[in-house]
Structure 1
């Protein structure tokens, strides 16, 4: 009999403030990538409001500093460009001490034309997966030293659009499609959480992935055709969330005590999502995104791309 899905008291309308109410993070340290805009701001705000020291890992340091001042509390800013492995390495090298919470929140979506990183990797895969993979790998010891750390991978319902094409990760042979590339990178986020938890649970590290929901006020969709966006907004296909609601599931996975030790799962709207192969349903996670063999293979391929063996 399959295990029952994890449920919580929270749902679609819950906000980050609702989820973190009553939780004390004093003495905890957190990193939120992409913390200068969108749900990253509200994730950081909730964590800092509960007493955590929060580092906004951002490309635009000026914007990050502006957000840090707005949030208040112990909020710091670090330069991080996830598409640039040298930047990831510099951020890791600059980190000292334990790390309790890593929220891999930053992302790029639907680049209209094929772009590549310096390594020749398709840019959405390079940013959304490889950058975060290298970051988490580099911060492993800091997470392990915290004793009971959480890693949160912000994925998307777009995982249902595409699995990871191990034979052509970077669109050298197949035709480039913006949403297929995005979907592949978001599936990779889920697979990362599956394998990270398997590998790192013994170190006290819990890793989970999530879909934050469709957000009207996010700049993630800045590369999409405005007419397509407007059609989506008026189609009735999605219920849209505020930024505060969009950050709720990230904050839940980062802090909710009852999830301690429960990893390798995919959540949406505050609860574990069912497995589905129906993208049109607008919810759920693909079986291939949770497949342990796929997760192990992606980890091995990602290490190879980084030129590492472990």
Structure 2
């Protein structure tokens, strides 16, 4: 399998990646689009002419961003919808209300290294938000994605996935001492595994899914890190702007180079190598994160957890 390479790289911006792309008549959904990478991703995709929906917890913040996007892109097809990924009922209400096809789903929202917290279902908060919420969203929107015949799902993961595989015997830290970074890493591994299995399961529907590391960018995502083992250890020359950080997600959402390609992991706008041990860099995808058996197991487990929550 040949790795996907593109003319873009570390310093490329989302606007550069999307230059010349016309998504007029296409519908795009971006989660967590009220700030940071999500807002920039939504702005650039709106600039291609797409009909863009911002799925956010804080609809007031979302409306402010939507207004700014509409004014800066001259695209009035920018909408806001309420979505709380940690609440299965909220996700179900969102997917039930969706009408018509969906061409691109960008699973961008997330939490990083937050204090110990659990959902009403007893799920560890980062796993619940970063993985299970997006899993429920994507599967709930399957028919809308399938209606397109060539839909794309973009899963925003992180090099932090190298901190932990999915720990099958104790995903929700019932026995392990809670560690915010291990929990984060596990949830980001789950994002990659989702892309692998979604591509396999939904191949007949023409749906592809890819995962990515956006890079090290200072946004609201880092509010819990306090300069610890997160962005605080990244060399200054490796820090990206939000415009650069959104580039890889926009590439996966729009580039003709990705037509029919799924189940892969990208960094700096290019597919990165599979590694057998932690790299200590922002590159590389752990072997366990693209393992097809792990991906199938996580899919089945996710379905079981969500079914039990009904």
Q: TM-score, normalised by structure 1?
A: 0.95
Query: Does the alignment pair 1:211 with 2:213?
Result: yes
Counterparts of 1:19 and 1:301, CA distance in 2: 36
Q: Which runs of 5+ in 2 are unaligned?
A: none
TM-superposed CA distance for 1:203, in Å, is 0.1
Shift of 1:232: 2.4
Query: How far apart, in 1, do the equivalents of 2:229 and 2:141 lie?
Result: 38
Report whether the alignment pairs 1:164 with 2:166.
yes
Query: After superposition, what is the alpha-carbon deviation per residue over 1:152-183, rounded to whole angstroms, capped at 9, x for unaligned?
Result: 00000001100000110100011110000000
Partner of 1:186: 188
Taking a change above 3 Å as real, the CA distance of residues 79 and 230 of structure 1, as seen in their structure-2 partners, is closer
In 1, the alpha carbon distance for the partners of 2:231 and 2:137 equals 35
Deviations 1:238-283 (A, max 9, x none): 6000001000000000110121110000001000011122231331
Corresponding residue number in structure 2 for 1:82 = 85
Equivalents in 2 of 1:232, 1:166: separation in Å?
Answer: 29
- Larger deviation, residues 135-144 vs 254-263: 254-263
1:53 paired with 2:51, answer: yes
Q: Distance in 1 between matches of 2:197 and 2:10?
A: 27
Deviation per CA, 1:187-213: give whole Å up to 9, x if none: 000000000000012101110000000
1:231 to 1:68, Cα distance in 2 relative to 1, 3 A = closer
Secondary structure of 1:119's aligned partner: coil
Equivalence map 1:251-266=2 (5 Å):
251-266=250-265
2:146–2:207: 8 Å Cα contact kept in structure 1? Answer: yes
Greater CA deviation, 242-251 or 3-12?
3-12
Match of 1:71 among 69, 72, 89: 69
1:93 matched residue in structure 2: 96
Q: Taking structure 1 as reference, are residues 269 and 291 closer, same or farther at Cα in structure 2, changes over 3 Å only?
A: same
Contact 2:222–2:231 at 8 Å: present in 1 too?
A: no
Q: Which 4+ runs in 1 deviate beyond 6 A?
A: 227-230
Say if 1:238 and 1:282, in contact at 8 Å, map to a contact too: no
Partner of 1:249: 248
Aligned residues: 302
Q: Distance in 2 between matches of 1:229 and 1:149?
A: 33
Question: Is the 8 Å Cα contact of residues 215 and 282 (structure 2) preserved in structure 1?
Answer: no
Residue number among 4, 12, 19 corresponding to 1:6 in the alignment: 4
Whole-Å Cα distance in 1 between the matches of residues 191 and 224 of structure 2? 20
Q: How far 1:230 moved relative to its partner?
A: 8.0
Q: Quote the residue 2:300 is aligned against.
A: 300
Root mean square deviation, CA, Å: 1.4
Alpha-carbon distance in structure 2 between the residues aligned to 1:10 and 1:226: 30
Q: Distance in 1 between matches of 2:34 and 2:212?
A: 20
- Matched residue SS, 1:152: strand
Uncovered stretches (5+) of structure 1, i.e. residues with no partner = none
Match of 2:289 in 1: 289
CA gap of 1:173–1:4, structure 2 versus 1, over 3 A, is same
2:216/2:231 contact within 8 Å kept: no
The answer to whether the Cα contact below 8 Å between 1:214 and 1:238 also exists between their aligned partners in 2 is no
Question: For residue 274 of structure 2, what is the aligned residue in structure 1?
Answer: 275
